[in-house]
Amino acid sequence: MALHIHDTLRGKKVKFAPRKKGEVRIYVCGPTVYDLAHIGNARPVVVFDVFTRLLRRLYPKVTYVRNITDVDDKINAAVKESGETIQAITERTTKIFHDDMAALGNLPPDHEPKATDHIDGMIELVKKLLESGHAYEAESHVLFSVPSMPDYGKLSKLNRDDLIAGARVEVAPYKKDPADFVLWKPSTDDLPGWDSPWGRGRPGWHLECSVMSEKFLGPEFDIHGGGQDLIFPHHENEIAQSTCAGGIGKDGGFAKYWMHNGYLMAEGEKMSKSLGNFYTVHELLDEFPGEAIRLALLKTHYRQPLDFTKVGIRQAKQELQRFYTAIRIAGDVEAKKVEPPEEIIIALEDDLNTPYALTHMHDITSDLNNATTDEEREKLKGKLIGAGQLLGIAQQIPVDWFRWQPAGTESLDDATIKILIAERNQARKSKDFAEADRIRDQLEAQGILLEDGAQGTTWKRK
RNA sequence: GGCGGGAUAGCCAAGAGGCAAGGCGGCGGUCUGCAAAACCGCUAUACGUCGGUUCGAUUCCGACUCCCGCCUCCA
C-alpha cells in the first residue's frame, strides 16, 4: 500500500504522489511567538513530526519547513501588556517553544524561517500582486482583491457571498469588497514597521507563509499542513496570494495537498483562555513525562477531534510503561535489525493511522513477552524499538524512563535506592520478610516500586 | 443562515456492508516468601435517536438530537 493522505482540497483520502520523483517538500504553519504553546499548538507539531518521520522512510529526500511568526498584532498586544521589548518576548517564547517541542520528542524541521527575516520578500510579493491587478492601495493599506480571483474559497469551500453573509466583524471602510483582506498595513511609531513603497508599515497575517514557503520549497511544493482552524482564512489567503503572484502550474500551483489536524478540547470543554481550561505544554511537562503527553496526542487519529485530559495522559503513560517494561526485561539480549516493521508502516501510510500503529506495537510487545528463544527476543525487541522510532516513542533507555519524576519532587537518589534494595535483599536472604517488606513499603511511600525479577531487583517510579 | 468534524464498552480508541481490533482500568488464576511485572481467562442485551436501501448496516442514504469548530487575522 502506498502512502494515502486525506487532502482538504479534494475533500477525501487520495494517493500521494510527489511533484518531483523521490522528493517531498512540506510546509507546516508554526507558532506565533507571543505566549507559551498550549497543548493545542502541540498537536500539529507532533502529528507532522510523525508524518515527516514516515516521509523520510518512504522518500530519499524530504524538506520540512516550519515557520516562526514573530510579527503579529498579538505580539504587539503582549508588548503593551508586559512592557518587554518585542525581541525579548519573541526570543524567549521561541526558546521555550523549542524546548517544549523537543521535550515532546519532536525532531526539528529542516528550516525554521522567521517572518521578520523575510520582510523584503513580502514587499516584493505585494508589489507583484499590485502589478498583476490582484491588489490595490487604499488609505495606506494594500488589500488583496478577492473578486479578482475566480476560484477563491476552493480550500475552505466558502464562497464570497457566504463570507459576507457570515461576517461578524465590521468591514473596514477602505475595502472595495467586504471579502478583501489586508496584505500590508500602516504602522504608527509605537508599532514595529518597515519602510515600503506604501510607507512605513507591517505585513498582513498570511504573507509570511506565502513568501517563506516559496523561498525554501519553490512556488510549487507538495504538502501544506496545519490545524483545521487555519483553513480559513489563513490557508485560503495563502493560496490566493501565492497563486495570483505567479507560480501557477499544472497542479494549480502552490501546495498540491493540504493536510489539517482536528481540534482539541481540554477536559471536555473547548479550550479557552477566558475559562482558564487550557494546558500549556510547559506546565504539563512538570507533571508528566513529555513522551506520555506525546502518546496521548497520538492515541487519537490526527483528524479526529480530541478531548485532551490528564486521565488520558496517565493512560498513555501506562501504555509506555508496558513498552518499556518489555524492553527492560529483554535487556539481556541485543535488539536486532532495529527498524520499523512493515505493519507499522502500512498503518501510517493509511493517512497516518497512529492508533492502529499503536495496536501493532502492543501486539509486538505481547509477542516479545511471550518469546521463548533469545533469537526471537532479539528480533522482536528490534521490531518494537523500530516501531517506536517512527512514532517517536520508546526510544529511551528503560532505566531513564523509569527514573522520571515530576518537577519539584524530592525523592531518594539512585544511590540510596540501591543501598535500600541491597539491604532488603539481604533481609530476604535471611528470610526476614518483615524487614524486607518494611523496606519495600518505605520505598513505595516515596513513589519507588520494586520488582523482583529473575535477574535481580529493579525499581521504577510510579 | 452557510460550511465542516464528531457521537463505539467504566475510560481511551481503531474498524469494515456479513460473527464488534487494541490499550487502560477491574475481576479470577499461574508465577512469587508476599508483592510487582509477565502470562492465561473473564469484563459491550451490537456501535447517539428514528426511518430507508439491502438477504444482511454499527459500517450506505435521509431526518433528528447532542457536542466541537469555521464563516477575515485563533494550532
What's this model's pTM, rounded to 2 decimal places? Answer: 0.95
Q: Residue A382 in contact with residue A262, Cβ under 8 Å?
A: no
* Phi and psi based region of residue A300 (left: phi greater than 0; alpha: psi -120 to 50; beta: remaining): beta
Give the nucleotide with minimal C1' distance to the Cα of A228.
Answer: B75
Distance A94 CA to B46 C1' (A): 50
Is there contact between A359 and strand B, defined as CB under 7 Å from any strand atom?
yes
Distance A93 CA to B67 C1' (A): 33
Task: Note down pLDDT in tens along chain A; length 462 residues.
Answer: 699 999 999 888 999 999 999 999 999 999 999 999 999 999 999 999 999 999 999 999 999 999 999 999 999 988 888 888 999 999 999 999 999 999 999 999 999 999 999 999 999 999 999 999 999 999 889 999 998 988 888 898 887 776 766 555 567 788 888 889 999 999 988 889 999 999 999 999 999 999 999 999 999 999 999 999 899 999 999 999 999 987 554 456 799 999 999 999 998 888 776 667 789 999 999 999 999 999 999 999 999 999 999 999 999 999 999 999 999 999 999 999 899 999 999 999 999 999 999 999 999 999 999 999 999 999 999 999 999 999 999 999 999 999 999 988 878 889 999 999 999 999 999 999 999 999 999 999 888 999 998 888 999 998
Is there contact between A318 and strand B, defined as CB under 7 Å from any strand atom?
yes
Is there contact between A305 and strand B, defined as CB under 7 Å from any strand atom?
yes
Residue nearest B15, CA–C1′ metric = A356
Give the nucleotide with minimal C1' distance to the Cα of A308.
Answer: B12
From the number of C-beta atoms within 10 Å of its C-beta (0-12, 13-18, 19+), residue A40 rates as buried
Distance A14 CA to B58 C1' (A): 25
Distance A120 CA to B28 C1' (A): 71
The DSSP secondary structure of A44-110, one letter per residue, reads HHHHHHHHHHHHHHH-SEEEEEE-BB---HHHHHHHHHH---HHHHHHHHHHHHHHHHHHTTPPPPS
Is there contact between A45 and strand B, defined as CB under 7 Å from any strand atom?
no
The amino acid sitting at A276 is G
The DSSP secondary structure of A409-420, one letter per residue, reads -----HHHHHHH
